[in-house]
């Protein structure tokens, strides 16, 4: 068979354009406003008997233009949309810093048990003792795994957890009467963007800490910045370069001597569960992404959940509500007046947090056991290192070819003089059927590609992924630019014009022109 280039293949496909625009099972799905019609309705309901409204003249009189669709039209529309999705259930999802690991079906089964799935947050406390016990048990294991004295379960996701932890720190500073002077939060260059945003949101000023040549934070830099105005540091460990901050204990000691607190961004806790306890490293507050480390769904699949563990110094400031075990069973403390010696800084959620995620996280913990959780961390680290070792001869590593934690960071030094970018490489990966890795983050290296395979992948799956990346890299070395500059070729949409989308976005849907019936 003669060799065909991608360009020729593309031309061939263009000659096979279909009448519908569909490509076999790849349906060119219209918007629901284009499928449905305003003048029809898919349901048959009686016109309501006109009664006096209680809207005080605010009721609408003009039609609002919602499309009417039949049930089969509705089903097809949403099913087809769902089939355009890439998910962890579709394939390997190497998005670094996101921990796209398998969501065990057992967790889903547990969350749907009627005693859990059918309860309501406003039910009398005596009728949901089991749910409160579950929250208390989850809290116990989160504190045990992290070596911390307290936990606030209610934050709804990682950044919300950061906010909760930093508000606890702010409350502790205020309790010492230092709120006017302790106003500076240190944030390393490699931090998640949410860290400085969180600190700034609650009125701290942010000072960056530069990374040293090996990608980690230098305790001497922290020492230089430490002082009576320092409130806290927000440090991710392992950091976003996939490296363990080896001087973390020394950094914690410097902070504590200066009267400041250590906030640890726990987004990467999945690398160290069962191996190290943040409490032993001097951490004062750390959020735990249940939707990463403890396998609950995230992205489109389900709400996040970001409990925050707190050191003895901060535990009294944990927000309301919290579960307390008493003689009469479990109680939910909803008001500061009932909090005893605790000094809750307030409340950050209307109800009690993501109950469904608590169930799934506890199901994951109990089904894995201590040894299983440790092995999950070890396998996550092993898999990332397997990817590193499989690619190190072709794709550049900014901090040298040395062991990483649960994710491996590449940069674009290897693309120098090819005229191609990290983005081109990532787009070509879409054609190969993979969701690309995280690109251009962290910002501390040029043209970053951050790969987190997670422990969910088998050796065969990793081998195919590595072989695919190698094939792409070799293709670049061979000068096959077209495979990249025009990618993706096979996705429902080709390369999007991100610049135009940002410069002149079309934010309002316009009805299409009516179809003209051609006179034959």
Partner 1 sequence: MTTRYTKDHEYIRVEGDTGTVGITDYAQAQLGDVVFVDLPEVGKAIEKGKEAAVVESVKAASEIYAPVSGEVIAINEKLPDAPTFVNEDPAGAGWFLKLRIKDASELDALMSEADYKAYLETIS
Q: Does position 393 bind partner 1 by CB under 8 A?
A: no
Instruction: Please say which residue, 86 or 440, places its beta carbon nearer to partner 1.
Output: 440
Tell me if 213 contacts partner 1 by CB under 8 A. no
Half-sphere exposure of 218 (CA within 13 A, CB side): 11
Piece of the chain touching partner 1 by CB under 8 A; list 27-35, 282-290, 475-483, 499-507:
499-507
498 counts as binding partner 1 under rule CB under 8 A: yes
CB 345 within 8 A of CB 317: yes
DSSP H or E segment with residue 329: strand 329-333
- Between 97 and 107, whose beta carbon lies closer to partner 1? 97
Which of these ranges, 228-236, 474-482, 496-504, 511-519, lies near partner 1 under the rule CB under 8 A?
Answer: 496-504
Give the max Cα distance, the chain. Answer: 87
Least distance CB 438 / partner 1 (angstroms): 13
60 is an interface residue for partner 1 by CB under 8 A = no
Cα dihedral 234, 236, 237, 242 sign: negative
503 scored as a contact of partner 1 (CB under 8 A): yes
Binding mask 411-450 for partner 1 (x = CB under 8 A): -----------------------------x--x-------
Residue placing its CB nearer to partner 1 in the complex, 393 or 498? 498
Nearer to partner 1 (CB atom), residue 260 or residue 439: 439
Label residues 9-21 b or e (16+ Cβ within 10 Å = b): eeeeeeeeeeeee
Q: 3-state class of 319 per DSSP?
A: coil
| Helices 422-431 and 459-477, axial angle in degrees (round to 10) | 130
Identity of the residue, 313 or 446, whose beta carbon is nearer to partner 1 in the bound complex: 446
Round to whole Å and give the CA distance between 239 and 266.
Answer: 10
Determine the interface stretch with partner 1 among 180-188, 369-377, 448-456, 495-503 (rule: CB under 8 A). 495-503
What does 342-395 look like in DSSP terms, one character per residue? Answer: -----BSSSSS--HHHHHHHHHHHHHHHHHHHHHHHHHHHHHHHHHHHHHTTTS
Task: Tell the smallest beta-carbon distance from residue 233 to partner 1 (Å).
Answer: 22
Q: How far is the CB of 202 from partner 1 (least distance, A)?
A: 20
Q: Which residue has the tokens 């001087």?
A: 247
With contact defined as beta carbons under 8 Å apart, do 333 and 187 qualify? no
- Give yes or no for residue 120 binding partner 1 (CB under 8 A): no
Pick between residue 30 and residue 443 the one whose CB is nearest to partner 1.
443
How many residues sit close enough to partner 1 to count as binding (CB under 8 A)? 6
Kindly tell me which of 224 and 416 has the beta carbon lying closer to partner 1. 416
20 is a site residue for partner 1 (CB under 8 A): no
Which residue stretch of 147-155, 370-378, 498-506, 510-518 sits at the interface with partner 1 (rule: CB under 8 A)? 498-506
Residues 350, 502, 507, 517: which binds partner 1 (CB under 8 A)? 502
Q: Binding to partner 1 by residue 496, rule CB under 8 A?
A: no
Q: Does 507 bind partner 1 (CB under 8 A)?
A: no
Secondary structure (DSSP) of 100-158: -----HHHHHHHTSHHHHT--TTS-GGGGHHHHHHHHHHHHHHHHHHT-SEEE----SH
Determine whether 126 is exposed, middle or buried from the number of CB atoms within 10 Å of its CB (0-12, 13-18, 19+): exposed
Query: For partner 1, which stretch binds (CB under 8 A), given 46-54, 268-276, 312-320, 494-502?
Result: 494-502
Kindly list the residues in this chain that would bind partner 1 in the complex (CB under 8 A).
440, 443, 498-499, 502-503
């Amino acid at each position: 068979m003669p060799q065909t280039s991608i360009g020729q293949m593309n031309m061939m496909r263009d000659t096979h354009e279909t009448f519908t625009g569909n490509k076999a099972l790849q349906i060119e799905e219209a918007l629901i406003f284009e499928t449905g019609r305003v003048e029809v309705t898919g349901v048959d309901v009686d016109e309501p008997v006109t009664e006096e409204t209680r809207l005080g003249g605010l009721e609408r009189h003009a039609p609002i233009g919602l499309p009417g669709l039949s049930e089969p039209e509705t089903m097809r529309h949403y099913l087809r949309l769902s089939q355009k999705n890439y998910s962890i259930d579709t394939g390997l999802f190497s998005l670094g810093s996101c921990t796209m690991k398998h969501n065990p079906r057992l967790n889903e089964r547990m969350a749907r048990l009627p005693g859990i799935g059918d309860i309501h947050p406003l039910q009398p406390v005596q009728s949901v003792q089991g749910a409160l016990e579950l929250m208390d048990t989850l809290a116990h294991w989160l504190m045990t795994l992290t070596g911390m004295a307290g936990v606030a379960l209610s934050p709804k996701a990682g950044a919300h957890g950061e906010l909760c932890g930093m508000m606890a720190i702010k409350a502790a500073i205020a309790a010492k009467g230092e709120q006017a002077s302790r106003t500076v939060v240190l944030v390393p260059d490699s931090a998640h963007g949410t860290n400085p945003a969180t600190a700034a949101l609650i009125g701290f000023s942010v000072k960056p800490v530069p990374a040293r040549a090996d990608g980690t934070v230098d305790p001497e830099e922290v020492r230089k910045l430490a002082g009576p105005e320092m409130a806290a540091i927000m440090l991710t460990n392992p950091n976003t370069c996939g490296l363990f901050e080896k001087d973390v204990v020394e950094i914690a000691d410097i902070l504590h001597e200066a009267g400041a607190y250590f906030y640890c961004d726990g987004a990467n806790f999945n690398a160290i569960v069962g191996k190290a306890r943040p409490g032993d490293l001097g951490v004062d507050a750390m959020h735990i992404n249940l939707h990463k480390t403890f396998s609950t769904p995230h992205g489109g699949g389900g709400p996040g959940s970001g409990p925050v563990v707190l050191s003895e110094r901060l535990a009294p400031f944990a927000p309301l509500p919290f579960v307390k075990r008493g003689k009469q069973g479990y109680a939910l403390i909803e008001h500061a007046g009932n909090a005893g010696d605790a000094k809750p800084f307030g409340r950050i959620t209307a109800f009690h947090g993501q109950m469904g995620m608590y169930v799934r996280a506890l199901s994951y913990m109990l089904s894995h056991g201590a040894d299983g959780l440790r092995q999950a961390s070890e396998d996550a680290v092993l898999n990332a290192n397997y990817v590193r070792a499989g690619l190190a001869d072709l794709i550049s590593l900014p901090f040298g070819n040395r062991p990483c934690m649960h994710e491996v960071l590449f940069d674009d030094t290897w693309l120098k003089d090819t005229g191609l970018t990290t983005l081109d490489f990532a787009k070509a990966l879409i054609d190969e059927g993979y969701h690309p890795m995280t690109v251009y983050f962290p910002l501390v290296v040029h043209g970053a590609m951050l790969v987190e395979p997670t422990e969910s992948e088998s050796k065969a799956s990793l081998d195919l992924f590595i072989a695919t990346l190698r094939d792409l890299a070799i293709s670049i070395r061979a000068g096959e630019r077209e495979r990249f500059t025009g990618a993706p070729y096979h996705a429902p949409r080709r390369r999007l014009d991100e610049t135009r989308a940002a410069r002149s976005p079309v934010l309002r849907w316009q009805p299409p022109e009516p179809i003209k019936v051609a006179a034959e």
